[in-house]
Structure 1
Amino acid sequence: MQHKKIGDVLISSIICNNLKKIMPNAEIHYLVNKEALPVLEGNPNINRVITLHPKHRTNARAFIKFALQIRREHYDIVIDAYTKLESWIIVWLCAAKRRISYKKKYRTFLYTDNLSREAVKVTQPGRVIDLKLLLIQPFLNNVLPDRYPQIYLSEDEKRNAALLFKKHHIPTKKSLMLNVVGSCPLKTYPLEYMAALVNQIASQVDVNILFNFLPHQKEEAQKVYELCNDDAKKSIFFELSNYDLRTFIAIMNQCDAIIGNEGGAIHIAKALNKPSFTVFSPWINKHDWSTFEDDLNHVAVHLCDFKTELYANTPDAEFKENALELFKELKPEFILPKLSSYLAFHLEQDTD
């Protein structure tokens, strides 16, 4: 169970992938929010995806009915990667023989296996991966787990994405996805700073810059465009932003790299094995969420990299409260050297 946001659902899919590897004959079901379904389509390690709809979250009667339907599946094992009130109720009602989650005060009675997060040994940046794998530790038996989330696209989906590039007259050259707006204001790099990064991209490499944003974020994306210089504007395309999530995934697969705000789009790109350059919000824990960071294929920047003194004696809660002001401290000049190296390695045109 992982009924959270798209990135969480995608990362938690490594639980399903590894369980199928360990127990190939097991029937693996994955409970997620309906909006996250596209990142799981075609995954051969998941026999069935159970979707939690908005009506289940807003109507107590509908939710209990949904939970009782799950009970009728008679599961042998339930793994709760979400561990919030909704999942507690489902676990309580499902009556599985084995119930696994993280150790948490006042609800250990719900689970047969309560695993301590402190037991996680971080092998590299991206502790969230290790935390997910902790939940299948009882089944590993010295088997080396697969740490990498994957997205599966059909050949038809790949061909259709290529046709979309032609339909919208996207030039035949390398393409860069720009996650121009974060999932919320607190996760959005200041728009004028983002424009400065776009100007650097356009001046250094000859690529198509595809703006990625949600329909309600069009005003912010347009503002970034207007703040860019004239040369950069010639490389920017909005046309491929108006599609559903599954189509976005196929479009991302056609791109050569992604740059931008941390969030679901970045995790999707990584699952497609695309290079990433991530700008973290000051209140997000980079060490936990910067998965597979190696300063080459996956690069990430965070205010804590440049202003370590700000993070020395400050309670975590204050970072979220002051995220908008703190983001202003992460000036483009801090980011540009790393960005330039990333662009040179991944997006400069090959020459003989």
Structure 2
Amino acid sequence: MKILIIQQKMIGDVLTSSILFKALRELYPEAELHYLIKKHTFAVVENNPMIDKIIFDQEDFEGAEISFLKFAHLLRAQNYTAVIDAYSKIGSALLSFYSGAKIRSGRAKWYTRAFYTRSSTYESTQVNKAGLAIQFRLKLAACLGLDQSISYQPKIYLSDLEITEAKEFLKSFEIDLSKPLIMIGVLGSNPQKTYPLSYLAELLETLIATSDAQLLFNYIPSQLAEVKELYKLCSPKVQAKIFLNCYAKSLRKFIAICHHCDALVGNEGGAIHMAKAVGTRTFAIYAPQIETKAWSFEEDKNHSSAHLQHFKPQLFEHLKSQKEILAENHNLYQNFTPDLIKPDLMRFLKNLAPYEV
């Protein structure tokens, strides 16, 4: 049996969909499992022993860019038994159809339904403690016998060398690994998913007052202006705890650094998912338009989150769709004041002991 999973999207989605490989490997240990992704997302599935082959979107097996039609021919030549289209857009649906696989599964949409042999709807009822996003991916593969009620969590596989090099990198900045080290997710994937910097600065004051932590900021060079803005909003006491110039120069190095952190605190998104996948505690601040039940694992002492709707549900009563919530994004964020989050954050920070599974 040869199975292809398609996820031509962002890093968090590629990582989340990777749980299918563990589930399928347990059910079909002899199957050949391939993953079709964008090249820039490779870092989160590199070294994953459950995946037999990574295929980069619209590249041949030598790494040369090819046309969509040639790429479709390349996939068809693989003679897949099944294709699970976790992306489920028109392009991936066409690739699924043209693959010739007898089993083709994707999300039910009026413009793609004809390309699949099985279409699944996204459910809002949670039967899997890992979250609706993982539950839905398992549902897509139910045609292969997967049980969507079983909980799976994404995992990133780091090599011993990567872990050692990240440790030495941190030490080169005179970071004391015997003390708590916390990564701060400063920015969301876009402004509509970014907690106001002035509010975040206030949370960092609470964080430093609650724990003897050292702080790292998660950012890339193009985001330095916003990061410096946050830094300037912090008191000298907090600034003294921030290692501003200690940042990862690649996604894989960021993941390895996260492995050494006691926690990641900040905007919910790809960084939170990656931290979870290497066994690092997380405290996620959700954007108003994002549902916690879609992306959060069952919360415990290792993972916690904050969402405005939990504190002020009345603000959402007249908003009937994500589009309406997005239109009110700025006002909703202004209502998401630090005093709402601080009690939960302080409980989370109370004991930054070694991670407990």
TM-score by length of 1: 0.92
Backbone CA RMSD of aligned residues: 2.2
Partner SS for 1:104: coil
- Counterparts of 1:315 and 1:340, CA distance in 2: 33
- Identify the residue that residue 134 of structure 2 maps to in structure 1: 129
- Identify the residue that residue 83 of structure 1 maps to in structure 2: 88
- Identify the residue that residue 56 of structure 2 maps to in structure 1: 51
The offset of 1:62, in angstroms, is 1.9
What whole-Å deviation, never above 9, does each CA across 1:113-134 have from its counterpart, x for those lacking one? Answer: 2223349643337211111111
- Any conservation in 2 of the 1:18–1:145 contact (CA below 8 Å)? no
- Identify the residue that residue 155 of structure 1 maps to in structure 2: 160
- Any conservation in 2 of the 1:120–1:131 contact (CA below 8 Å)? no
Partner SS for 1:345: coil
- Counterparts of 1:289 and 1:212, CA distance in 2: 20
- Identify the residue that residue 352 of structure 2 maps to in structure 1: 346
- Any conservation in 1 of the 2:58–2:68 contact (CA below 8 Å)? no
CA spacing shift, 1:125–1:329, aligned 2, 3 Å: farther
CA spacing shift, 1:78–1:125, aligned 2, 3 Å: closer
The offset of 1:44, in angstroms, is 0.5
- Counterparts of 1:17 and 1:9, CA distance in 2: 14
- Identify the residue that residue 68 of structure 1 maps to in structure 2: 73
- Counterparts of 2:335 and 2:58, CA distance in 1: 39
- Counterparts of 1:143 and 1:130, CA distance in 2: 5
- Identify the residue that residue 57 of structure 1 maps to in structure 2: none
What whole-Å deviation, never above 9, does each CA across 1:266-312 have from its counterpart, x for those lacking one? Answer: 00011112111000111112221223323x21111111011101222
Partner SS for 1:346: coil
The residue type equivalent to 2:190 in the other structure is C
Q: Which segment is superposed worse, 193-202 or 167-176? A: 167-176
2:56 matched to 1:28? Answer: no
Which of 39, 43, 47 is equivalent to 1:38? 43
The residue type equivalent to 1:72 in the other structure is A
What whole-Å deviation, never above 9, does each CA across 1:100-145 have from its counterpart, x for those lacking one? Answer: 1222224322111222334964333721111111122233366974
The residue type equivalent to 2:342 in the other structure is L
- Counterparts of 2:123 and 2:271, CA distance in 1: 29
- Identify the residue that residue 182 of structure 2 maps to in structure 1: 176
Unaligned 5+ runs, structure 2: 1-5, 60-64
What whole-Å deviation, never above 9, does each CA across 1:31-53 have from its counterpart, x for those lacking one? Answer: 11111100001101000111126
Which of 212, 222, 225 is equivalent to 1:206? 212
Equivalenced residue count is 343
- Any conservation in 2 of the 1:29–1:48 contact (CA below 8 Å)? yes
- Counterparts of 1:214 and 1:184, CA distance in 2: 14
- Counterparts of 2:140 and 2:257, CA distance in 1: 33
- Identify the residue that residue 189 of structure 1 maps to in structure 2: 195
Runs of 4+ aligned structure 1 residues displaced above 6 Å come to 141-144
- Identify the residue that residue 9 of structure 1 maps to in structure 2: 14
- Identify the residue that residue 228 of structure 1 maps to in structure 2: 234
CA spacing shift, 1:255–1:141, aligned 2, 3 Å: closer
CA spacing shift, 1:345–1:154, aligned 2, 3 Å: same
- Identify the residue that residue 144 of structure 2 maps to in structure 1: 139
Unaligned 5+ runs, structure 1: 55-59
- Any conservation in 2 of the 1:149–1:271 contact (CA below 8 Å)? yes
TM-score by length of 2: 0.91
CA spacing shift, 1:144–1:193, aligned 2, 3 Å: closer
Structure that is richer in helix per residue: 1
